Amino acid sequence: MDESFGENYVVVVLDWERLMTLGLAERQGDLLDDVIRFCDDAVPSCSVYALLHRERDRLFPDELFADLFSDRGRRSVPPSVVATVMVLQRLEGLSDREAVERYTFDARWRYAAGVGGYDGGRWGRFAHTVLVDMRARLDASEDPKRIFRVSLEAASAAGLVGARRVLDSTPLYDAVATMDTVTLIRSALRGLLRVADEALEAELRAVLRSGDDYATAAKPQIDWDDAEAREALIDSRARDALACLVLLEGRQLGPELCEAAELLATVVGQDLEESDDGTLRIAQRVAKDRVISTVDAEARHGHKTAARGFDGYKGHVGLDPDSEIITGTKVTPGNAGDAGVAAELVEDLTDDAAGGSVADDGEQAPAGSPRRRRGGGGGKGGRTNGSKKRAAPAARTRRSEARRAARRAKLERRGKQAGGAGTDRRTVYGDAAYGTGGFLDHLAAHGIDSRCKTQPPTAAGGLFPKDRFAIDLDADTVTCPAGVTVTIRRNGDGDGIASFADACADCPLRANCTNAAGGRSISVGRHELRLAEARAQQQDPDWAADYRATRPKVERKLSHLMRRKHGARRARVRGRRKVDADFNLLAAAHNLARLAVLGLHSTTTGWAAATP
């Protein structure tokens, strides 16, 4: 307990992590409870409420969250109850207060949480801050996405996750206002002054020359219709910022001060340029990685299409197209490319994917099961500390190949169970955003079939596109439509360029080929062969039919996820990490709703789905 004494008051900050012990839910159901008896008859067995009522203790046992609590202090609300409320909250797009109110008065929520009616003394209500506290504890833990992991493990154990994945992304609007340049600079300066100690703050204020005390977030009072007044305002606030940065240069700063100074330097440098007369003014451009708010410095301008922009983040998903179970999620700033995180969404398909040890029969050991001890240890058959023998490289290679083969076999069996014949090949589907050379190379390196569209080459103004040029990668040459052949000049990373500068001067096809004064040049990337192969493959009618039948399923799933505006399309938290956790929980909730429709139920040996 940390106490800070003021003149007339005492502020007490409680260490909640140490003062909270794990609360346990009542697992012996009350057969005479009116709410349970009513819902047993009225709630469909395929609803998420019925699934959570039946399988809550198996999906979210209180012990699953034991690492979040201490061994002393007051009892928490049972985590199984809180997890159930969090799942239903994300499904229905509710705020914390609304979710607790729904839990208190909606019989279906109480049925799902296993608390029944109001006369049994089993958590009739709790404060909305319990949900805030649970999210904070999960965020600080080593397994913050355990609710999603549990839903995916149950689906996998029931044979509902196959060997195919469909990838896509959707915009997530940020929870802050997009700031203009003046507001950004003033806000960043106010943040710097706020984290500075008294002596440093006095030094910083001494170099301010604009007359602005930066005490409030309100904009300065000027005639905003006067262009000269606007320019003077921008110049004066920018010079205040630069003066503060010059003062801090070369000093040893603490983490908070360093972060505030870096943010100030970023917002000053991204939007401004110096005019001929030395005045700092707003540049007529948009910086590539522009910070749009000091409140959420990780949000960015994004474009889902060339004509449709947004501010915030992108939510990326990987989906099993046969069962429509989400297998992976990721949140990135809005300006990030889809292909940049695609490899993370298909990690479970790669040969060397983690996720459990492989047993002798080729099956992967379930999460949490004992694993064979390696190295030292006192068990029978374990190596003693004095043993210096190591497996030969060839033996290690054979074991590694065996594990990878077992992993592939398991994925193929899952694919057959989930979708029948024709779905046992590991395959990834995606639109043209995923048809990049780097991602296609990644898939090929792991033996995964690609159904990712690759854009055909184009040229502005109806000029000859790139595919009119003959590229010979063996000879490293490019031949133009006029029959001129030049050598590709490669740089250090393998990318190259073929320039026809001299040959274009008197070429009769110049008008159809280039408008550049220096002649036509062709870029040849290090993934050129992979892209050419992909473009050829997608001309196959079978390839196109498979793509059209499969990829749209992820669009439907994204529409389900974005159905509620609050906490779905519009983020309800700030910062990429928190938005990522919230989006992951949203995916977990929809997975559980889907599993309810598929008839998931526990058995003596694990999980099973209803037979179609």
Kindly state the tokens that stand for 498.
Answer: 């073929």
Q: Is there a contact between 22 and 62 (Cβ–Cβ < 8 Å)?
A: yes
User: 180: Cβ–Cβ under 8 A, 6 or more apart, which residues?
Assistant: none
Tell how far CA 571 is from the center of its chain. Answer: 13
- Output the CA torsion 488→493→495→500 (10° steps): -40
pTM score: 0.83
Paired residues of 280 in beta bridges? 274
Amino acid at 451: R
Report d(CA 160, CA 418) in Å as an integer: 5
Kindly state the tokens that stand for 77.
Answer: 């609300």
- Helix, strand, or coil (residue 18): coil
Nearest to 287 by CA among 275, 298, 277, 272: 272
Domain ranges of the chain: 2-144, 148-176+309-362+393-454+538-612, 181-282, 464-526
Report d(CA 594, CA 320) in Å as an integer: 12
pLDDT of residue 392: 43
pLDDT of residue 117: 76
Q: How far is CA 187 from CA 194, 202, 321, 339, in A?
A: 10, 18, 46, 34
Report the interhelical angle of 576-597 vs 146-157 (nearest 10°): 30
Kindly state the tokens that stand for 98.
Answer: 């609304």
Triad 84, 606, 41: Cα angle to 5° = 50
Tens digits of per-residue pLDDT, 251-306?
A: 999 999 999 999 999 999 998 988 888 888 888 888 889 999 999 999 999 987 77
Q: First vs last Cα of the chain: how many Å apart?
A: 57
Positions of the chain with pLDDT lower than 70, given as ranges:
1-18, 28-31, 119-122, 351-424, 611-612
Residue 478, CB-side half-sphere exposure with 13 Å CA sphere: 21
Report d(CA 304, CA 317) in Å as an integer: 15
pLDDT of residue 378: 38
pLDDT of residue 27: 73
Report d(CA 175, CA 299) in Å as an integer: 9
Q: Is there a contact between 607 and 599 (Cβ–Cβ < 8 Å)?
A: no
Q: Is there a contact between 520 and 503 (Cβ–Cβ < 8 Å)?
A: no
Q: Where are the alpha helices (DSSP H) in 249-325?
A: 255-271
pLDDT of residue 263: 95
pLDDT of residue 12: 41
Paired residues of 487 in beta bridges? 477
pLDDT of residue 355: 40
- 3-state DSSP of 137-190: HHHHCCCCCHHHHHHHHHHHHCCCCCCEEEEEEEEEECCCCCCCHHHHHHHHHH
Strands 74-75 and 20-21: what pairing? Answer: parallel
pLDDT of residue 372: 36
DSSP conformational letter for 3: E
Q: Is there a contact between 334 and 299 (Cβ–Cβ < 8 Å)?
A: yes
pLDDT of residue 24: 87
User: 252: Cβ–Cβ under 8 A, 6 or more apart, which residues?
Assistant: none
Kindly state the tokens that stand for 377.
Answer: 């240890």
Nearest to 415 by CA among 236, 167, 156: 156
Residue 388 burial by CB count (10 A; 0-12/13-18/19+): exposed, middle or buried?
A: exposed
Kindly state the tokens that stand for 296.
Answer: 């959420």
Q: Is there a contact between 478 and 525 (Cβ–Cβ < 8 Å)?
A: no
- Output the CA torsion 239→245→249→251 (10° steps): 140
Stated length of the chain: 612
pLDDT of residue 612: 60
Report d(CA 502, CA 511) in Å as an integer: 15
pLDDT of residue 10: 40
